[in-house]
Chain A
Amino acid sequence: MSNTLTAPARKIPFKWSIIAIVSIVLFTLISSVGFGVVELGHQAVWQCVTQSCEKPIYDTILWQIRFPRVLLGFIAGFGLAVAGALMQNVTRNPLADPYLFGIVSGAGLGATLTTFLPPSIQVISLPLAAFLGSLLAVVIILLILLQNNWRRIEHLLLAGVAVSFLLSSLTSFILYTGDAFSSNRVIFWLMGSLARADSTALLWIFPVVIISTGIAIVLGRQLDALLLSDDSARTLGIHVAKIRIITLVLCAAITAVIVSYCGGISFIGLMIPHIVRPFVGITSAKLFITTGLIGGCFLVWVDVIARTALDGQEIPIGVITSAMGSLFFLALLRKM
């Protein structure tokens, strides 16, 4: 694997990295709420945060629409980036991504199947069905791996790719044969959006992401042991298969809960760890914290672009992350 993709170039002391990143996070959370169809301006936002809003409508826009959406964007970006770093470290593959397990394909299939439900319950059940679909994908992969005795990491990656394509093909078939209106709804959902931001979404996603990240950080030392080789990890007393299963479940939980509310937002899990690694190194705990914070900020700003780039129309967020991710990797290739 190329040095450019993984090089721990100029490591900055972790303390300074964290101070810098927390400042970026605060700036992002406060300033991003000003952007949207109604431009609030920083002063108005600041006034709303510190005292009370100038106009009552600002109050509604800020606290009921923008803030939940910014928070959802932040936590979704945080979770996807952590899941990416987790997957990359545990598979020792810098190109691993939580989407590799077919979690998104599974969610897509679940969402697609809701088109068969009566319209009255479709809206409520889409996230639930997507979540169940993600779980289905993960369970299939776990079963394949358990049968295969977890002999090699490659099995994990190949099983993920295979399951992903299998579920995608089922989704495509159902969409192709289904009615156009439902198909459109699912396709739009698959492109990703933070428009579904509400307190229910936040109440689901926040605990899952924070607890899973917390467990990943606690397991950091064990995960570090895997960075050299499986054999080496075992000689350090690590139960390699157990750690991989736990990590897979954590990634699946984080990704499934995000994807079921926000749809397919690709490339964050792949891209953000690559950006962060040169500055904070490879070891797990530091990487997860910084990757998460940067991932969160990244998605918040991507959502700002999605909301403001086209007049009166929102661009699906997954379209922007995919475009940026691809360009990012092409830029990396130039350096290689």
Chain B
Amino acid sequence: MHSFALQAKELTWSVDQVDIIQQINLQIKTGETVAIVGPNGAGKTSLLKCLFGEYHTYKGDVYLNGKALSTLHKKEIAQHIAVVSQHADSAFNLTVLDIVSMGLIPHKGLFDLNTDEDRTNIQQALIKVDLLNKQHQQFNTLSGGEQQRVLIARAVVQSANILIMDEPTNHLDMYYQHQILQLAKKLDITLVLTIHDLNLAAQYCDRIVMLNHGKIVADDNPEKVLKPELLSKIFKLDCIVDENPFTQRPRVTFAGTNSKSPSERNNTFGEEHHE
């Protein structure tokens, strides 16, 4: 196994000549848990999509286990990278089992049938996410947290060594936010995720990559990245950083928007306001 699971070199991705992410250099070690954080529009999701090959019209290079992503077949990428995306909903009422079974797709040829081993793997993945009793239930009727768990089970069946999650804790309550991240961590594979909650990032990730305007502005362990000066500058809000008494990890508390008026905040993003 290559020491870097994922690597981006001078990665730039643009839409209509506007650079969404610019000259990103990033190395993600095998087994590491990395959070990509930053304000809305910073380019977090775009960076993720370049890393797992959804966007391929980028400049620069992305390497998966040391091999250039551009030289790999989609199926090969899917054998190594599983993705849990922000929103998955279908007009058809797929069952939990239907979706978890999809994890087999990258490993099967056109004429391959499901084996007993595949069925065992699916059952084990369902046990891992505690959804065995809901395997015949419709995906659309599950709660947000359960849907995320279904997609994690699919990633388990996919037996990828990298899991990419795009804002996995969105729309989830506290309990499920922690549950999902604990579950993902327990898989013991390389984990790259975008997340808005800096405290969750600090608690669960080995490393935080801070993006702003498409560029990496900080990339280190949570203690070094989550500094009040940097956070205030990036998020345009005053904040204090102390220690979470439960986890001894950094804890960020932002002051309200009163600390700077909304128009001040918007103006610093370069937006025009006509009143």
Contact A8 B95 (CB under 8 A): yes
A6: chain B residues at CB < 8 Å are 91-93
Residue of A nearest to B89 (CB): A229
Min CB–CB distance B139 → chain A (angstroms): 8
Please pick, from B76, B85, B98, B136, the residue contacting A224 in the complex, using a CB distance under 8 A.
Answer: B98
Interface string of A234-274 (1 = CB under 8 A from B): 11111100000000000000000000000000000000000
A236: chain B residues at CB < 8 Å are 78, 102-103, 105-106, 158
A102 interfacial contact with B, CB 8 Å: no
Interface string of B91-117 (1 = CB under 8 A from A): 111110011011111101011000000
Min CB–CB distance B88 → chain A (angstroms): 5
A125 interfacial contact with B, CB 8 Å: no
A60 interfacial contact with B, CB 8 Å: no
Q: How far is the CA of A96 from the CA of B30 in the complex (A)?
A: 44
A92: chain B residues at CB < 8 Å are 90-92
Contact A237 B74 (CB under 8 A): yes
Please pick, from A221, A227, A239, A281, the residue contacting B108 in the complex, using a CB distance under 8 A.
Answer: A221
Contact B95 A281 (CB under 8 A): yes
Please pick, from B79, B85, B91, B98, the residue contacting A93 in the complex, using a CB distance under 8 A.
Answer: B91
**What is the total of A-B residue contacts with beta carbons within 8 Å?**
88
Most buried by A among B74, B93, B105: B93
Min CB–CB distance B186 → chain A (angstroms): 21
Contact A7 B110 (CB under 8 A): no
Contact B105 A227 (CB under 8 A): no
Q: How far is the CA of A239 from the CA of B76 in the complex (A)?
A: 12
Contact A238 B105 (CB under 8 A): yes
A228 interfacial contact with B, CB 8 Å: yes
Q: Is the interface of B mostly helix, strand, loop or mixed?
A: mixed
Q: How far is the CA of A281 from the CA of B96 in the complex (A)?
A: 12
A218 interfacial contact with B, CB 8 Å: yes
Please pick, from B74, B79, B88, B98, the residue contacting A232 in the complex, using a CB distance under 8 A.
Answer: B88
Q: How many residues of A contact B (CB 8 A)?
A: 30
A89: chain B residues at CB < 8 Å are 92
Contact B78 A237 (CB under 8 A): yes
Min CB–CB distance A94 → chain B (angstroms): 6
Min CB–CB distance B125 → chain A (angstroms): 15
Min CB–CB distance B158 → chain A (angstroms): 7
Min CB–CB distance B156 → chain A (angstroms): 14
Q: How far is the CA of A311 from the CA of B105 in the complex (A)?
A: 55
Min CB–CB distance B101 → chain A (angstroms): 8
Contact B85 A232 (CB under 8 A): yes
Min CB–CB distance A50 → chain B (angstroms): 37
Min CB–CB distance A39 → chain B (angstroms): 44
A3 interfacial contact with B, CB 8 Å: yes
Q: How far is the CA of A234 from the CA of B82 in the complex (A)?
A: 11
Residue of A nearest to B110 (CB): A218
Min CB–CB distance B29 → chain A (angstroms): 22
B83 interfacial contact with A, CB 8 Å: yes
Please pick, from A227, A231, A239, the residue contacting B94 in the complex, using a CB distance under 8 A.
Answer: A227
Min CB–CB distance B213 → chain A (angstroms): 25
A282: chain B residues at CB < 8 Å are 92-94, 98
A222 interfacial contact with B, CB 8 Å: yes
A219 interfacial contact with B, CB 8 Å: yes
Q: How far is the CA of A227 from the CA of B73 in the complex (A)?
A: 22
B59 interfacial contact with A, CB 8 Å: no
Q: How far is the CA of A270 from the CA of B85 in the complex (A)?
A: 31
Most buried by B among A3, A11, A224: A224
Give me 20 other A-B pairs in contact (C-beta within 8 A), A89-B92, A227-B98, A234-B74 excluded: A7-B93, A92-B90, A93-B91, A221-B108, A228-B88, A228-B99, A229-B88, A229-B90, A235-B52, A235-B54, A236-B78, A236-B102, A236-B103, A236-B106, A237-B76, A237-B106, A281-B98, A282-B92, A282-B98, A283-B98
Residues of B within 8 A of A (CB): 52, 54, 73-79, 81-83, 85, 88-95, 98-99, 101-106, 108, 110-111, 136, 138, 158
Residues of A within 8 A of B (CB): 1, 3, 6-8, 11, 89, 92-94, 218-219, 221-222, 224-225, 227-229, 231-232, 234-239, 281-283
List 20 A-B residue pairs with CB atoms under 8 Å apart, sorted by A's residue number: A3-B93, A7-B138, A218-B110, A219-B110, A222-B105, A224-B98, A227-B90, A229-B88, A232-B88, A235-B52, A235-B78, A235-B82, A235-B85, A236-B106, A236-B158, A237-B79, A237-B106, A239-B74, A281-B98, A282-B93
- Rank and list the top 3 A-B pairs by shortest CB-CB distance, nearest first: A237-B78, A237-B75, A235-B83
